[in-house]
Amino acid sequence: DAKTTQPPSMDCAEGRAANLPCNHSTISGNEYVYWYRQIHSQGPQYIIHGLKNNETNEMASLIITEDRKSSTLILPHATLRDTAVYYCIVRVGGNAGNMLTFGGGTRLMVKP
Protein backbone atom coordinates (compact mmCIF):
# COMPACT_ATOMS: atom_id res chain seq x y z
CA ASP A 1 0.00 0.00 0.00
CA ALA A 2 1.07 3.59 -0.60
CA LYS A 3 2.52 5.48 2.31
CA THR A 4 1.00 8.54 3.92
CA THR A 5 2.48 11.60 5.58
CA GLN A 6 0.75 13.39 8.44
CA PRO A 7 1.83 16.11 10.87
CA PRO A 8 2.73 14.52 14.20
CA SER A 9 0.50 16.78 16.27
CA MET A 10 -2.14 19.50 16.09
CA ASP A 11 -4.18 21.57 18.50
CA CYS A 12 -7.76 22.68 18.08
CA ALA A 13 -10.06 24.81 20.21
CA GLU A 14 -13.21 23.14 21.44
CA GLY A 15 -16.17 23.94 19.19
CA ARG A 16 -14.00 24.88 16.24
CA ALA A 17 -13.41 22.79 13.13
CA ALA A 18 -10.41 20.50 13.16
CA ASN A 19 -8.78 20.05 9.76
CA LEU A 20 -6.31 17.16 9.63
CA PRO A 21 -4.19 16.94 6.47
CA CYS A 22 -2.70 13.85 4.87
CA ASN A 23 -0.37 13.48 1.90
CA HIS A 24 -0.48 10.32 -0.19
CA SER A 25 1.32 11.35 -3.34
CA THR A 26 1.99 7.79 -4.56
CA ILE A 27 -1.59 6.57 -4.22
CA SER A 28 -2.73 4.17 -6.93
CA GLY A 29 -5.99 4.33 -8.81
CA ASN A 30 -7.52 1.40 -6.92
CA GLU A 31 -6.52 2.60 -3.46
CA TYR A 32 -8.98 4.16 -1.06
CA VAL A 33 -8.22 6.72 1.64
CA TYR A 34 -9.29 5.59 5.10
CA TRP A 35 -9.27 7.43 8.39
CA TYR A 36 -9.22 5.78 11.79
CA ARG A 37 -8.71 7.33 15.20
CA GLN A 38 -7.44 5.92 18.47
CA ILE A 39 -8.51 7.39 21.76
CA HIS A 40 -6.12 6.75 24.62
CA SER A 41 -6.16 3.13 25.87
CA GLN A 42 -8.70 2.04 23.25
CA GLY A 43 -8.47 0.22 19.94
CA PRO A 44 -8.62 2.19 16.69
CA GLN A 45 -12.06 3.29 15.50
CA TYR A 46 -13.12 3.67 11.88
CA ILE A 47 -14.17 7.21 10.89
CA ILE A 48 -14.63 7.45 7.14
CA HIS A 49 -13.23 6.41 3.79
CA GLY A 50 -13.35 7.58 0.18
CA LEU A 51 -11.97 6.98 -3.30
CA LYS A 52 -12.13 10.29 -5.13
CA ASN A 53 -15.36 12.02 -4.20
CA ASN A 54 -15.78 13.97 -1.00
CA GLU A 55 -17.56 12.02 1.70
CA THR A 56 -19.51 12.98 4.80
CA ASN A 57 -20.97 10.97 7.64
CA GLU A 58 -22.13 11.65 11.17
CA MET A 59 -18.58 11.81 12.45
CA ALA A 60 -16.62 13.76 9.86
CA SER A 61 -16.11 14.94 6.29
CA LEU A 62 -13.36 13.77 3.97
CA ILE A 63 -12.09 16.07 1.25
CA ILE A 64 -9.88 14.47 -1.40
CA THR A 65 -8.03 16.64 -3.90
CA GLU A 66 -8.76 16.15 -7.57
CA ASP A 67 -5.35 14.57 -8.20
CA ARG A 68 -5.91 12.34 -5.12
CA LYS A 69 -2.46 13.11 -3.78
CA SER A 70 -3.75 14.56 -0.55
CA SER A 71 -6.82 14.67 1.61
CA THR A 72 -8.21 16.45 4.66
CA LEU A 73 -10.33 15.04 7.44
CA ILE A 74 -12.66 17.63 8.90
CA LEU A 75 -14.27 17.38 12.32
CA PRO A 76 -16.76 20.25 12.03
CA HIS A 77 -17.22 21.02 15.74
CA ALA A 78 -14.44 19.42 17.75
CA THR A 79 -15.16 18.37 21.32
CA LEU A 80 -12.81 17.30 24.10
CA ARG A 81 -13.76 13.69 23.35
CA ASP A 82 -12.23 14.06 19.89
CA THR A 83 -8.76 14.20 21.44
CA ALA A 84 -7.05 11.18 19.88
CA VAL A 85 -4.44 10.01 17.39
CA TYR A 86 -5.85 10.16 13.85
CA TYR A 87 -4.48 7.79 11.24
CA CYS A 88 -4.73 8.31 7.49
CA ILE A 89 -4.35 5.02 5.61
CA VAL A 90 -4.47 4.15 1.93
CA ARG A 91 -5.71 0.69 1.14
CA VAL A 92 -6.60 -1.31 -1.93
CA GLY A 93 -10.33 -1.74 -2.34
CA GLY A 94 -12.22 -4.88 -3.11
CA ASN A 95 -11.16 -8.38 -2.19
CA ALA A 96 -7.48 -7.60 -2.50
CA GLY A 97 -7.48 -5.21 0.42
CA ASN A 98 -6.85 -6.79 3.79
CA MET A 99 -4.64 -5.45 6.55
CA LEU A 100 -4.42 -1.81 7.51
CA THR A 101 -0.98 -0.22 7.37
CA PHE A 102 -0.79 2.44 10.06
CA GLY A 103 1.76 5.23 10.08
CA GLY A 104 2.50 7.50 13.00
CA GLY A 105 -0.74 9.45 12.76
CA THR A 106 -1.57 12.94 14.00
CA ARG A 107 -2.10 13.48 17.70
CA LEU A 108 -5.01 15.93 17.91
CA MET A 109 -5.41 17.78 21.17
CA VAL A 110 -8.74 19.56 21.57
CA LYS A 111 -8.44 22.29 24.15
CA PRO A 112 -11.22 24.05 26.10
Q: Side by side, which strands form the sheet with 9-13?
A: 9-13, 106-111, 84-92, 31-38, 45-50
Give yes or no for residue 28 binding other proteins (CB under 8 A).
no
Give yes or no for residue 93 binding other proteins (CB under 8 A).
yes
> What is the end-to-end Cα distance of the chain in Å, rounded?
37
Give yes or no for residue 99 binding other proteins (CB under 8 A).
yes
From candidates 67, 81, 94, 112, binder to other proteins by CB under 8 A = 94
Task: Classify each residue of 96-111 as buried b or exposed e, where b means 16 or more C-beta atoms within 10 Å of its C-beta.
Answer: eeeeeeeeebbbbebe
Inter-residue contact 38 to 45 (CB < 8 Å): yes
* CB of 74 or CB of 92, closer to other proteins: 92
Among 10-18, 54-62, 65-73, 101-109, which window interacts with other proteins (CB under 8 A)? 101-109
Give yes or no for residue 100 binding other proteins (CB under 8 A).
yes
Q: How far is the CB of 98 from other proteins (least distance, A)?
A: 5
Give yes or no for residue 40 binding other proteins (CB under 8 A).
no
Inter-residue contact 6 to 103 (CB < 8 Å): yes
Binding residues (CB under 8 A) for other proteins: these are 32, 41-46, 85, 87, 91-105
